[in-house]
Structure 1
Amino acid sequence: MRINDDDTLLFIGDSITDAGRDRADPASLGHGYVHEIARTLRERAHDGPGPRVINRGIGGDRIYDLESRWAADVIGHRPTVVTVKIGINDTWRYHDSGLPSPVREFEACLDRLLADTARRLSARLVVITPFLLPVTPHQEGWFDDLSPRTDAVLRVAADHGAQLVRADLLLPRAAQDRPAAELAPDGVHPTPLGHRLIADAWLAAVGVGASAPQPKR
């Protein structure tokens, strides 16, 4: 995949994508991996500001929330590259609130969204897998639901030829060399270092490569 300076890159997902963006400001990118990607692309732009970057993450979203706003928050912006990161809240809400999100329905919903996007926009697709760095014994039990959900994400991404960012492998691998709290203190929401690692993985997946230094450990 080649990213050009005239591309429009749209990122959609939950709080990990949202990362504290100002929703009253359409240009706000938050302070997470989307911001880090945009910064790197600006640094590498040939002339001008580089690709347009749009953040449409909303904290707490599950796959069904994305579907309800997909037409306005994705299709309406006519992006040329769409990145989706979703799934952890479908697992989290099941465990803390008993709110069901059957994996088969989750998979079918994600499949519909990617198929619709590719058909209506001819957009290139990137999918970031959900991840978890358990910090409590209770969270260890989440994998019974999250692992098959991650497998579903991988199947849908493969079916639609999407580029993959394997956050489910990246973050646990990084946690082998440092305390998990340096990457995601609650097991879910990344620190600046965690966000930078995701950003670098996205850049590598689309063939850009990282240029900005990582935050100090």
Structure 2
Amino acid sequence: MTISLHRSATVLFQGDSITEVGRLSEPDNPLGHGYVRLAADRVRAARPDSGITFVNRGVGGDRVSDLCARWREDALDLKPDVVSVLIGVNDTWCRYRAGEVTSQRSYEDDYRALLTAVRERPDAQLVLVEPFLIPVTEEQWGWREDLDPRIHTVRRLAEEFDAALLAADGLLNQAARTAGSPERIAGDGVHPTPLGHRLLAEAWTALAGL
């Protein structure tokens, strides 16, 4: 499944800190400094006269329930032509670091509600980016018990909603093996390094045939 970036399209990126990457703390950089900025730059370089607008609404710390709470204002009201979603690792993180559990059923139900709302615009295209974890500690290997079912949920929803799927977990874990160290891809196992963001951006734009 690929996406079509037509002339003057609005492309919205939604998610947590992996998507935000400084866009809230630096008003002069509304796309942040991560994969969103890199993907937008790659598209603009390949199609300089397309008039495509890129919007970043990632918010650090967000879980899927937080996206639901702000979905109307920060997604639907923007009338995007393409909606790219990366959410889920904080639902896992909060279980192990704060004892706050998001059940797999709640995660799936909330995620499906987000996508169903987008489908109110019949021409809107969806990109689902798998949540990912590149374990750098022994403890984080245990987190996979919680995260892996969320990844499978995203894959099922991509099929259900005919969305493009970016299989980020396998991509970045393989990149860590190639690089010789997980810290080269995500220093804390969760937040990508510049190399990790570049790999995500390259994979995202590949979905658009670029």
The aligned counterpart of 2:79 is 78
The aligned counterpart of 1:173 is 174
What one-letter code is carried by the residue in structure 2 that aligns with 1:3?
Answer: L
TM-superposed CA distance for 1:46, in Å, is 4.3
Q: Answer yes or no: is the 8 Å Cα contact 1:80–1:121 preserved in 2.
A: no
Secondary structure of the corresponding residue to residue 12 of structure 2: strand
Measure, in 1, the Cα distance between the counterparts of 2:141 and 2:48: 46
Secondary structure of the corresponding residue to residue 198 of structure 2: helix
The aligned counterpart of 1:135 is 136
Once the two structures are superposed, residues 30-69 of structure 1 have per-residue CA deviations (whole angstroms, 9 ceiling, x without a partner) of 0000000111111122426x31000000000000000000
The aligned counterpart of 1:109 is 110
1:26/1:126 CA distance change after superposition, 3 Å: farther
Once the two structures are superposed, residues 12-37 of structure 1 have per-residue CA deviations (whole angstroms, 9 ceiling, x without a partner) of 00000001113673861000000001
The aligned counterpart of 1:212 is none
What one-letter code is carried by the residue in structure 2 that aligns with 1:100?
Answer: V
What's the RMSD between the two structures over aligned residues? 1.5
Once the two structures are superposed, residues 154-182 of structure 1 have per-residue CA deviations (whole angstroms, 9 ceiling, x without a partner) of 11111000000010110011111111111
Secondary structure of the corresponding residue to residue 7 of structure 2: coil
The aligned length equals 207
Secondary structure of the corresponding residue to residue 31 of structure 2: coil
The aligned counterpart of 1:197 is 199
TM-superposed CA distance for 1:77, in Å, is 0.6
5+ long unaligned stretches in structure 1 = 210-217
The aligned counterpart of 1:161 is 162
Q: Answer yes or no: is the 8 Å Cα contact 1:79–1:121 preserved in 2.
A: no
Q: Answer yes or no: is the 8 Å Cα contact 2:63–2:87 preserved in 1.
A: yes
The answer to whether structure 1 residue 66 and structure 2 residue 67 are counterparts is yes
Once the two structures are superposed, residues 105-140 of structure 1 have per-residue CA deviations (whole angstroms, 9 ceiling, x without a partner) of 100110111011012463100000001011111111
The answer to whether structure 1 residue 30 and structure 2 residue 20 are counterparts is no
Q: Answer yes or no: is the 8 Å Cα contact 1:88–1:146 preserved in 2.
A: yes
What one-letter code is carried by the residue in structure 2 that aligns with 1:28?
Answer: P
The answer to whether structure 1 residue 100 and structure 2 residue 112 are counterparts is no
The aligned counterpart of 1:213 is none
What one-letter code is carried by the residue in structure 1 that aligns with 2:81?
Answer: T
Q: Answer yes or no: is the 8 Å Cα contact 1:134–1:187 preserved in 2.
A: yes
Measure, in 2, the Cα distance between the counterparts of 1:145 and 1:106: 11
What one-letter code is carried by the residue in structure 2 that aligns with 1:173?
Answer: Q
TM-superposed CA distance for 1:76, in Å, is 0.8
Matched residues, percent identical? 45
Query: More deviation in 175-184 or 69-78?
Result: 175-184
TM-score of the two chains, using structure 1 as the length reference? 0.91
5+ long unaligned stretches in structure 2 = none
Once the two structures are superposed, residues 71-121 of structure 1 have per-residue CA deviations (whole angstroms, 9 ceiling, x without a partner) of 000001111000000000000001111101001110011011101101246
Measure, in 1, the Cα distance between the counterparts of 2:78 and 2:28: 11
Higher relative contact order by CA 8 Å / sep ≥ 6: 1 or 2? Answer: 2
The aligned counterpart of 1:187 is 189
Query: More deviation in 62-71 or 173-182?
Result: 173-182
TM-superposed CA distance for 1:206, in Å, is 2.4
